[in-house]
Structure 1
Amino acid sequence: MSNTIMKGFGTKAIHAGLEPDPSTGAVMTPIYQTSTYAQEAPGVHKGFEYSRTHNPTRKALENNLAALEGGKHGLVFASGLAAIDTLLKTLHPGDEVISTNDLYGGTYRLFVKVYEKLGLKFHFVPMQDLSSIEKKINEKTRLIWVETPTNPMLNVIDIESVATLAKSKGGILLAVDNTFSSPYLQQPLKLGADVVMHSATKYIGGHSDLVMGALITSNDNLAEQLYFLQNAAGAIPGPMDCFLALRGIKTLHVRMQRHCENAEKIARFLRSHPKVEKVFWPGFPDHPGHDIAKKQMRAFGGMISFTIKGDRVEDAYKAISSLKIFTLAESLGGVESLAGHPATMTHASIPKAERLKSGLSDSLIRLSIGLEDAEDLIADLKHVLQ
């Protein structure tokens, strides 16, 4: 189906970049479980030589993701961290990166524990304040790394303003981790970003049954470098995982609607509960980033963080260990609701002093709101809070 007649997100999710299989007419993209491809003569083939370089199932997924983000080029990887790693390999020793100070612990670990040893320098700043970015920009700055909403404090960063700043300073690359939003809620390329990253493990896959990462860009020069590194380093997903991601994407729009509806009900319940100290969710009008979120997001997402009054870590442990419907587990974005303790789980690799600077206390609880009945999720939370 021609992409030119597809306007709505749901239509693109189901059809963009996809065609019935030419050999059989199969509507669903086949799982091309092959490592290599027959050639008519040396170097004469049908666009596929070896599955590290290209695979038809993977290519269909990459085309679909590019369409959903409004980009020209899509690339998928074995994990979200593999995607970030590939982007960082476009940099050189001595280059500097300015990053959100509140970000996924695995990203922080890759930056500090791996790439600082290889000669990159990282600055972690509160990007809600644009001046904090500008103060760190110098002639060595090559990349600005944004998460929004941030993980786990749900801070909101103005992508368009950061993009304007990056371009005014000589064309510094702007990358946005769009995992918490998914392409349904937010499309950073349309706001001026150069590249978008997803942990497709999360909302894109949507069913907690795959691990995958993605990069999407409209920058031809950057895409050429990324395609080279994807093939040269080889951190690619298998065709089965690509098939599962394609299947998940077909319901992305309806899943995100329910995630957001449920999250709003639960955020409001938590805020009204006498034992809850603070709820972090950008849908509240008094959230510092609410107006920016309204401007750049379709809705406010399915992620919530909160603290219990008294701010005692033992209360947080007891609460999340007593949940019955919420599952105590890492990750997010699946159909099932998950509860996590960032300080000991997803963000344990960040030193405590650094966590506290961004407001991440040892008592913070993070919720990924799933697709269950909201009333049952509220009853589960009510039980443990009492």
Structure 2
Amino acid sequence: MKKPETTNHKQETENRRFETNAIRNQLERTQYLEHSSPMFLTSSYVFEDAEDMRASFAEEKERNVYSRYSNPNTSEFVEKVCEMEGAEAGFAFASGMAAVFSTFAALLNSGDHILSARSVFGSTHSLYTNFFPKWNIETSFFEVDDLEGLEATIQPNTKIIYAESPTNPGVDVLDLEALGSIAKKHNLIFIVDNCFASPYLQQPIKFGADLVIHSGTKLMDGQGRVLAGVTVGKADMIEKIYRFSRITGPALSPFNAWVLSKSLETLAVRIDRHCENALKLAEFLENHPKVNWVKYPFLKSHPKYELAKKQMKAGGCVVAFEVNGGLQAGRKFFDSIKLLSLSANLGDSRSIVTHPASTTHSKLSEEERKKVGITDGMVRVSVGLEHINDIIADISQALE
């Protein structure tokens, strides 16, 4: 777990740019004076004597005890994310969904109530509908454009407001500042899944979020190699999440943490290209006769274009569109793809096309999918780092 920083370290990093901190904020060098952070592939740590062991387990001193609790590699990764998001502390998990579940489980009690945006990742929705009711935790949904309806739905037992922005898979944009104000007014915990934007494009804490969650599997890794998750935010809330996770064991492996920490060094330059390619693809699709509609946050036709520009540095890597002709045309499109990958991941250097209705959101009923704008012909493209002309050529031939 990353602890709150000392004043001197915070001032030092605040004077540097995002890209510099992503590269230069690393572990102290060992006696070997390595330039790149080494891997600490150890499950446990040794103690100098009996008193050192006792004091360490009693948490009277800050040191690594067991890698389920903390490890130098996971600490470096979490510290980098905290710097990027402007967070006080954080904890890293074995996957994005481990981060989502553990964050909820640590903060909620039986009888509590969640207010969630209706448009969220399919597995998060399954937590709400299939598992939380077993523990007497209720969830109500609000529409992305109906914040008045959200406030009217707040109950005496409401504990959390939860949202993604941009949303998965429809890339809708929520007003984070307005949500933050509502949460503060009613003394609620405001949690944002920032996976689609990454901390390079958007920092929800600036708009009032208490906690920010990422699937490190996506843009943070950027090459489809590892699973990871991380939650960062207010230190008192992270302490509860840490205590829960220390016992239940969803911690990130040191090797994956090392990979991710290295990946963050190139986050900015990678996402700049992702966004450049995605905008060009969205503009191409907007004028294609075989496409009914296109949504991308920095496309001027997006209903929340101005809000997206206020909250985000650029539009991200995901473009959503609907193939003209429904399910049959959609299947023909996917079967005709040659270069791009048919996969359920996103944020990869390789461009990926996904059919949300039959993959990531297949566990939702048809009615639930329609409520969040997931049609049978909807396509989600995670635009990668290949040459944009080759990406457009492949999608163009598949549409034809």
TM-score range, shorter chain: over 0.9
- From 277, 285, 297, the equivalent of 2:292 is 277
- From 332, 343, 365, the equivalent of 1:318 is 332
Aligned residues of 1:127 and 1:133 also touching (Cα < 8 A): no
Higher helix share: 2
- From 131, 148, 154, the equivalent of 1:131 is 148
Range with greater deviation from structure 2 (7-16 or 77-86): 7-16
- From 184, 193, 210, the equivalent of 1:167 is 184
Structure 1 segments (4+ residues) deviating >4 Å: none
Would you say 1:113 and 2:130 are equivalent positions?
yes
**1:158-185 deviation line (CA, Å, top 9, x unaligned):** 111100011111x100000000000000
In the TM superposition, 1:107-256 aligns within 5 A as 107-169=124-186, 171-217=187-233, 219-256=234-271
**1:255-281 deviation line (CA, Å, top 9, x unaligned):** 010000000000000011111110011
Would you say 1:41 and 2:49 are equivalent positions?
yes
* Post-superposition offset of 1:230: 1.7
Question: One-letter code of the match for 2:155?
Answer: N
Q: Distance in 1 between matches of 2:163 and 2:318?
A: 17
Task: Identify the residue that residue 380 of structure 1 maps to in structure 2.
Answer: 394
Q: 1:97 is paired with a residue of what secondary structure?
A: strand
Gaps of 5+ in 1: none
- From 23, 27, 49, the equivalent of 2:31 is 23
Aligned residues of 1:78 and 1:236 also touching (Cα < 8 A): yes
Q: 2:183 is paired with a residue of what secondary structure?
A: helix
Task: Identify the residue that residue 112 of structure 2 maps to in structure 1.
Answer: 95
Aligned residues of 1:20 and 1:27 also touching (Cα < 8 A): no
Q: Distance in 2 between matches of 1:43 and 1:161?
A: 51
Question: One-letter code of the match for 2:238?
Answer: A
* Post-superposition offset of 1:66: 0.7
Task: Identify the residue that residue 344 of structure 1 maps to in structure 2.
Answer: 358
Task: Identify the residue that residue 4 of structure 2 maps to in structure 1.
Answer: none
Question: One-letter code of the match for 1:250?
Answer: E
* Post-superposition offset of 1:203: 0.3
Would you say 1:73 and 2:80 are equivalent positions?
no
- From 51, 57, 64, the equivalent of 2:67 is 51
- From 348, 356, 363, the equivalent of 2:370 is 356
Q: Distance in 1 between matches of 2:218 and 2:377?
A: 24
Aligned residues of 2:298 and 2:315 also touching (Cα < 8 A): yes
* Post-superposition offset of 1:42: 2.8
In the TM superposition, 1:256-275 aligns within 5 A as 256-275=271-290
Task: Identify the residue that residue 10 of structure 1 maps to in structure 2.
Answer: 19
Q: Distance in 1 between matches of 2:394 and 2:51?
A: 60
Aligned residues of 1:32 and 1:55 also touching (Cα < 8 A): yes
Q: Distance in 2 between matches of 1:327 and 1:356?
A: 26
* Post-superposition offset of 1:285: 2.1
Q: 1:146 is paired with a residue of what secondary structure?
A: strand
Gaps of 5+ in 2: 1-7, 57-61
Aligned residues of 1:29 and 1:60 also touching (Cα < 8 A): no
Q: Distance in 2 between matches of 1:124 and 1:23?
A: 54
Q: Distance in 1 between matches of 2:19 and 2:10?
A: 13
* Post-superposition offset of 1:2: 4.7
Range with greater deviation from structure 2 (369-378 or 222-231): 222-231
Q: Distance in 1 between matches of 2:208 and 2:183?
A: 9
Range with greater deviation from structure 2 (89-98 or 127-136): 127-136
- From 353, 370, 381, the equivalent of 1:367 is 381
* Post-superposition offset of 1:343: 0.6
**1:49-76 deviation line (CA, Å, top 9, x unaligned):** 1111111111111111111111110211
Alpha-carbon RMSD across the aligned residues, in angstroms, is 1.3
Q: Distance in 1 between matches of 2:166 and 2:50?
A: 49
* Post-superposition offset of 1:129: 2.0
Aligned residues of 1:166 and 1:172 also touching (Cα < 8 A): yes
**1:318-346 deviation line (CA, Å, top 9, x unaligned):** 11222112100011001000000001111
- Go from structure 1 to structure 2 and tell me whether the alpha carbon gap of 1:120 and 1:253 turns closer, same or farther (over 3 Å shift): same
Question: One-letter code of the match for 1:301?
Answer: G
Q: Distance in 1 between matches of 2:182 and 2:355?
A: 35
Task: Identify the residue that residue 59 of structure 2 maps to in structure 1.
Answer: none
Aligned residues of 2:27 and 2:72 also touching (Cα < 8 A): no
Count of matched residue pairs = 382
Aligned-residue identity in percent: 35
Q: Distance in 1 between matches of 2:335 and 2:85?
A: 37
Aligned residues of 2:96 and 2:228 also touching (Cα < 8 A): yes
Q: Distance in 2 between matches of 1:64 and 1:23?
A: 23
